[in-house]
Chains A and B, each alone.
Chain A
Amino acid sequence: MSVKMLPTRDGYGHGLVELGATNPDVIVLDADLAKSTRSDWFQAKYPDRFFDIGIAEQDMIGTAAGLALGGKIPFATTYAVFVAGRAWDQVRTTVCYSKLNVKIAGAHGGISAGGDGATHQSLEDVALMRVLPNMTVILPCDANEAKRATLAAAKMDGPCYLRFAREATPVFTDENDTFEIGKAVVLKPGTDVSIIAAGPLVYEALLAHDLLAAQGVSARVINMHTIKPLDEAAVLAAAKETGAIVTIDEAQLAGGLGGAVAELLVSHRPVPVEMMGIRDTFLECGLPEELAAKYQLTAKDVVAAVGRVLARK
Chain B
Amino acid sequence: MNMESVERLKEICCDVRADIVRMTNAAASGHPGGSLSSVEAMVALYCNVMNHRPSDPSWSERDRFFLSKGHSCPVVYATMARTGYFPVEELLTLRKLGTRLQGHPSCKTLPGIEVSSGSLGQGLSVANGFALAAKIDGKPYRAYCLMGDGELQEGQIWEAMMTAAHYKLDNVCGIVDYNGLQIDGDIEKVMGLAPLADKWRSFNWHVIEADGHDVAAMLAAYDEARRTKGKPSVIVMKTVKGKGVSFMENVAGWHGKPCNQEEMAQALADIYGKGN
Per-residue interface assignment for chain B, residues 98 to 119, with 1 indicating a CB less than 8 Å from any chain A CB and 0 otherwise = 0000000011100000111111
Q: Is the pair B130, A94 in contact by a Cβ cutoff of 8 Å?
A: no
Residues of B within 8 A of A48 (CB): 136
Does B24 count as interface, using CB distance less than 8 angstroms? no
- The interface size bin for chain A is 20 to 34
Q: Point out the residue from B131, B143, B160 that lies within 8 Å of A59, measured CB to CB.
A: B160
Q: Given A56-B159, A62-B126, are A94 and B132 also a contact pair (CB < 8 Å)?
A: no
Per-residue interface assignment for chain A, residues 43 to 68, with 1 indicating a CB less than 8 Å from any chain B CB and 0 otherwise = 00000110101101011111111111
Does A71 count as interface, using CB distance less than 8 angstroms? yes
Q: Is the pair A66, B127 in contact by a Cβ cutoff of 8 Å?
A: yes
Q: Is the pair B167, A51 in contact by a Cβ cutoff of 8 Å?
A: yes
Per-residue interface assignment for chain B, residues 221 to 238, with 1 indicating a CB less than 8 Å from any chain A CB and 0 otherwise = 000000000000000000
Q: Is the pair B162, A56 in contact by a Cβ cutoff of 8 Å?
A: yes
Q: Give the total number of A-B pairs whose CB atoms are below 8 A apart.
A: 116
Residues of B within 8 A of A59 (CB): 125, 128, 156, 159-160, 162-163
In the complex, A62 Cα to B130 Cα: how many Å? 10
Q: Given A56-B159, A59-B159, A62-B160, are A98 and B129 also a contact pair (CB < 8 Å)?
A: no
Q: Is the pair A69, B133 in contact by a Cβ cutoff of 8 Å?
A: yes
Q: Is the pair A66, B136 in contact by a Cβ cutoff of 8 Å?
A: no
Q: Is the pair B132, A63 in contact by a Cβ cutoff of 8 Å?
A: yes
Does A188 count as interface, using CB distance less than 8 angstroms? no
In the complex, A292 Cα to B146 Cα: how many Å? 49
Residues of B within 8 A of A63 (CB): 125-126, 128-129, 132, 160, 163
In the complex, A56 Cα to B136 Cα: how many Å? 22
Q: Is the pair A97, B116 in contact by a Cβ cutoff of 8 Å?
A: yes
Does A74 count as interface, using CB distance less than 8 angstroms? yes
In the complex, A276 Cα to B115 Cα: how many Å? 39
- Most A C-beta atoms less than 10 A away, residue of B125, B132, B143, B160: B125
Q: Which residue of A lies closest to B60 (CB)?
A: A71
In the complex, A66 Cα to B127 Cα: how many Å? 6
Does A89 count as interface, using CB distance less than 8 angstroms? yes
In the complex, A51 Cα to B118 Cα: how many Å? 27
- A103 → chain B closest CB, angstroms: 13
In the complex, A23 Cα to B31 Cα: how many Å? 44
Q: Is the pair B163, A65 in contact by a Cβ cutoff of 8 Å?
A: no
Residues of B within 8 A of A183 (CB): none
Q: Given A66-B133, A67-B133, A74-B129, are A58 and B115 also a contact pair (CB < 8 Å)?
A: no
In the complex, A98 Cα to B123 Cα: how many Å? 13
In the complex, A27 Cα to B106 Cα: how many Å? 25
- Most A C-beta atoms less than 10 A away, residue of B106, B124, B136: B136
Does A308 count as interface, using CB distance less than 8 angstroms? no
List A68-127 residues whose CB lies under 8 Å from chain B. Answer: 68-72, 74, 89-90, 92-94, 97-100
In the complex, A67 Cα to B156 Cα: how many Å? 17
Residues of B within 8 A of A61 (CB): 125
Q: List residues of chain A with CB under 8 Å of any chain B CB.
A: 27, 48-49, 51, 53-54, 56, 58-72, 74, 89-90, 92-94, 97-100
Beyond the given pairs A62-B123, A94-B115, A98-B106, 14 more chain A to chain B contacts, judged by CB atoms under 8 angstroms and listed by A's residue number, are A53-B159, A54-B162, A58-B156, A59-B125, A61-B125, A63-B125, A63-B163, A66-B131, A69-B133, A89-B122, A93-B116, A93-B119, A94-B125, A98-B116
List 21 contacting pairs A-B, 8 Å CB cutoff, sorted by A.
Answer: A48-B136, A51-B132, A58-B155, A62-B123, A62-B125, A62-B126, A62-B129, A62-B156, A63-B128, A66-B131, A67-B129, A69-B64, A69-B129, A69-B130, A70-B130, A72-B136, A90-B122, A93-B122, A94-B117, A98-B106, A99-B108
